[in-house]
Amino acid sequence: MNIIVYNGRIVNPATGIDAVGYIIVRDGRIARLDTIGEIDEGRAIELSEEYEVDKMIDATGLTVTPGLIDLHVHFRDPGLTYKEDIESGSKAAAKGGFTTVVAMPNTKPVVDNALTFKYVCDKAKEVGLVNVIQVGSVTKGMEGKELSDIDGMKLNGLITISEDGKSVMDSGLYRKAMKKASELDITVLAHCEDINLVEKGVMNMGAKSKELGLNGISNAVENIITARDIMLAEETGCRLHLCHCSTKESVDMIKDGKAKGIKLSGEACPHHFILTEDDIPGNDSMYKMNPPLRGRDDRDALLKGLKEGIIEVISTDHAPHSAEEKSKPMEEAPFGIVGLETSLPLSYTYLVDKGIISLSELVEKMSLNPARILGIDKGNIDVGNVADITIFDTEAAYDIDPETFVSKGKNTPFAGMTVKGEVRYTIMAGEVTYEA
Ligand code: DOR
Ligand code: ZN
Ligand code: ZN
């Protein structure tokens, strides 16, 4: 499809553009981009004729950015498709403004070999609504005993590995995986959790867990593995990206590690930089995720980290579960909340609208930086590039209603919250994958 998007505010941090203009998409790529201010309808029609445009999008008052990239989602296929499947997950991604997502391998079976890896990649292509980058697990079956067939998956296009859902507790084995990642030039995405310290914790260890009489997860559970992983990244030279950072100590360690020149980056999720344990109303599993909502000082450190560029990625950890699973009390329900359909409005409302970061910095964290971390040629709307574009209205305010989610998962702690920022169009490789 050939498209003209005109009179929108184009925000493209890769080229330093933040100005009103138009973009012409032809045969899946960006054929022309001009930031000459507003054009009248006559000129838009003239350009449409010149470029054989079949769809005109008047983006007056809207923001036009590179397609959003989520470095952390769970699409649950194979094996757990009652929670989500590639089609429902892809639809949720497109609706959330995402053109690329990174899918974690903790499925059933685990994505630890070329065959399963290829199965997900092929299915995602068939659905064709979002570019799915499938992650390979670090160890077979995520059992922490033996390395996965990383070479086999690499031959089929693997660019990143992770044991998300847990950490590889055998440091020797993990170091081997990191060495391999370094040799193969693939990124390691790290979920940092010392399982031996969890002791049946279901929420942050603090005043709230005491009040509710629930077992707590201390900051040390995350911090110890964060420290180990950074040290091993330094030793092996691999590119390490820390998933869903939740503690103030993690932010400090990322800052120090980067200062030392280690190839290191970190992400934060909206729930961790917006909510704290004080927001948990009671024993309610909509507030149960791993890592848990932390204390106020941790939340404030994440905000500071985002502001100062220490944390350069916003991801969702989109973790859909069934209504039945999440209706159980915290002691029994699985960890995780959905995020694809709320990430942009929440991040816009709590970071940009509150003046913590600029709109351009938001686009960096939700598109350009994730692309750089993965080493993929995305996150930049420029002439010649694949046309992955997100168009949204920063002024539209509405209440989050999980019943409107297209994801199978309705598990969110943000129900009823008023936010600003609504996706109007998502364009992936020149095709409209979502239109409000
Ligand atoms: O909250 C979480 N949910 N954290 C994880 O590490 C795993 C994820 C899931 O797979 O549900
Ligand atoms: Zn995780
Ligand atoms: Zn996860």
For ligand 1, atom 5, the nearest C-alpha belongs to 165
- Top mutation candidate among 71, 142, 335, 340 for ligand 1, by most atoms within 8 Å of CB: 335
In whole angstroms, give the CA distance from residue 236 to residue 111. 24
pTM confidence score: 0.98
CA–CA distances in Å: residue 375 to residues 55, 159, 321, 368, 369: 32, 8, 31, 10, 10
Which of 436, 434, 427, 340 lies closest to 381 in space, CA to CA? 427
Whether the CB of 106 sits within 6 Å of ligand 1? yes
* Tokens found for residue 292: 């848990």
Q: What is the tally of helices (H) and strands (E) in the chain?
A: 14, 18
- Ligand nearest to the Cα of 165, by number: 1
Instruction: Please report, in tens digits, the pLDDT of each residue of the chain (436 residues total).
Output: 999 999 999 999 999 999 999 999 999 999 999 999 999 999 999 999 999 999 999 999 999 999 999 999 999 999 999 999 999 999 999 999 999 999 999 999 999 999 999 999 999 999 999 999 999 999 999 999 999 999 999 999 999 999 999 999 999 999 999 999 999 999 999 999 999 999 999 999 999 999 999 999 999 999 999 999 999 999 999 999 999 999 999 999 999 999 999 999 999 999 999 999 999 999 999 999 999 999 999 999 999 999 999 999 999 999 999 999 999 999 999 999 999 999 999 999 999 999 999 999 999 999 999 999 999 999 999 999 999 999 999 999 999 999 999 999 999 999 999 999 999 999 999 999 999 9
- Catalytic residue of the set 54, 317, 399, 401: 317
Task: Tell me, yes or no, if 317 is annotated catalytic.
Answer: yes
Is 217 close to ligand 1, i.e. is its CB under 6 Å away? Answer: no
Residue 28 C-alpha to ligand 2 middle, in angstroms? 34
Pocket flag, ligand 1, residue 273 (CB < 6 Å): no
